[in-house]
Every structure is written in structure tokens, then in C-alpha cells.
Amino acid sequence: MGGVQVDAGSEQEVLDLYRGALRGEGGPLAIESANLDHLHWYPTGSHDRSATSAATGSATGSAAGPVEGGLRWLTLMDGAPFVITAKQLTGVTYPRLTGAGLLEPQLRVAAEEGASVGFLGGMPDMHVRLREELGRRLPDLRIAGTWAPERADITSPEGAARWAETVREAGTDVVVVGLGKPRQEDWIRDHGVASGARALLAYGAAADFIAGTVQRAPQFYQDNHLEWAYRLSREPKRLARRYLLQGPPSLARLVTHSQPRRRY
């Protein structure tokens, strides 16, 4: 879609694949979100999906999507324009799967499986509140660590590699990477295997939503494809460029360069 291959599936299918990864089924699973911001940074995808074909065109495939560098990738339709365009192309209504919506169910699965979870990205004060909130909601969840790298550190090859070693040394099974696009996808692509995690989730501000340091758009905005407008109204200085300058060209590319991939 717009040059990016996405995986269509239900939330339950994604959770089943994720649970399987925590049990050691297949290689480590990397999950990223496709929206207009993703299309801006990765007009042809954030990783090479040509090396291995997906088992199916949906997230239900046992291979969980193409493999690159030892990672299995899922690219989920996060943005409303992707869901709308997919329906226009195929006649099928696919669910919008967001990191914000998936994170808590995935943390619950991790607690059930006895898997440890680490959070890479965000501010130290957010991490304090996140631990408190998760202690209340999911008291059985094992937290391997919460890490707040400086941007300059995470974007240098040496610094990024050191953080992967930190995640590995903590015995982290699931790492929630909240570094923002494109840093989080780049880090997972380049250092995901070295981190030793079984699942790597490129989920932006999803942990901030759980911690309560950032407020997610009310349900009305989510249901009417206006979450971007709510976020823009809350953080105009930070998000104006993303939504008003970078977004329209990405939307045009999505509409004009999308087609379903049929498998026979």
C-alpha cells in the first residue's frame, strides 16, 4: 500500500502469533505500524521484504511475514487511511490495529506466559508512572527494565549496539521500543536479533498512554478517523510538520500506488 507491504489480520491473530513467539515458535517477531508517517519515512518499507515471501497475505500465516536478518516482521494497518484504502481495494473491512490498542493485551499475554518485558524509550518520570500503573493493572508482569536513552546515543551505531546489549543482559523477552519513527524501526531492524528479545514492538507513545503522561484521543475521535486532529490540537508545534506538510504527499501516494497482492 503506497509502496509498503502490510499484513491484514485480526487482533486475535496477532496475539496468537505473538504468544507463539514468546513460546519460542519461529524466530523473534517484530511488529511495526503502517500509517502516513510510516509511509513518509519508509516509502518502500522499513526493511527488505523481498528476501522471503510471506506464507499468506495476512497475519495468520505461520511464518508471520517475511524474514530479514533473523526477524519475522508484521506491518499492521494503524492509520485510518490504510484501513479505508484497503476496503476500497478489496471490499473487505479490516480492523485498525494500533500499538496503543495492542500493547496492554500483549502485556497481559506476557504476564500469562511468564515473559519479562522491557521498555526502551521515553522519559525517566514516565517510567516511574508506568511501573506504578502496570503494578496496579498487571501485578504478575515481570519488568526487565525501563531505559531512557539520549537521542544522540540511540542514533549512533555504537550507542545503539550498547543498548541492545543492555536489553540482552537484562534477560528481556519482550522489548517495547518507543523511540518514535524512524528510530524505533531502525533500531529493531539493526539490533533486534542482538537484543535477544523474542518480540520487539515498535509502538511509539503506547507506553506513555498507559502511564498517563500522554492522553490518547477520546473514543469519538478514534471512531471518526480524527485522532490525528486531536493530537495536532494538543501538540501543534511538534506535530504540525508531520500532519500538515508530510502527511498530504504520503496520503496521495497511498491512494495512487496501492493494490492488493493476491496469492494463488
Domains located in the chain, CATH noted: 11-211 (3.40.50.10700)
Give the three-state DSSP class for 31: strand
Per-residue pLDDT tens digits for 145-161: 999 999 889 999 999 99
**pLDDT for the residue 131:** 98
C-alpha cell at 98: 494500533
Per-residue pLDDT tens digits for 46-57: 887 654 433 333
How many residues are there in the chain? 264
Q: At what angle do helices 247-256 and 80-90 cross, to 10 degrees?
A: 10
C-alpha cell at 78: 494503524
Low-confidence ranges of the chain (pLDDT < 50): 51-63, 263-264
Q: Which residues pair with 120 in a beta bridge?
A: 147, 177
The Cα–Cα gap between 209 and 150 comes to 21
**pLDDT for the residue 58:** 43
Q: What is the DSSP string of 121-179?
A: SS-HHHHHHHHHHHHHH-TTPEEEEEE---HHHHTSHHHHHHHHHHHHHTT-SEEEE-S
Residue 157 Cα distances to 79, 86, 164, 186, angstroms: 30, 37, 11, 11
The Cα–Cα gap between 195 and 207 comes to 19
Closest CA to 106 of 191, 173, 34: 173
The Cα–Cα gap between 31 and 41 comes to 16
The Cα–Cα gap between 160 and 144 comes to 18
C-alpha cell at 218: 477520546
Q: 33 phi and psi, to 5 degrees?
A: -110, 135
Pairing of strands 71-77, 29-34: parallel
CA atoms within 13 A on the CB side of 213: 17
Report yes or no: 232 and 240 within 8 Å, Cβ to Cβ.
yes
Report yes or no: 143 and 135 within 8 Å, Cβ to Cβ.
no
C-alpha cell at 57: 497475505
The Cα–Cα gap between 73 and 200 comes to 10
> Where do we find the cell 477520546?
218
C-beta contacts of 214-222 below 8 A and 24+ residues apart: 216/100
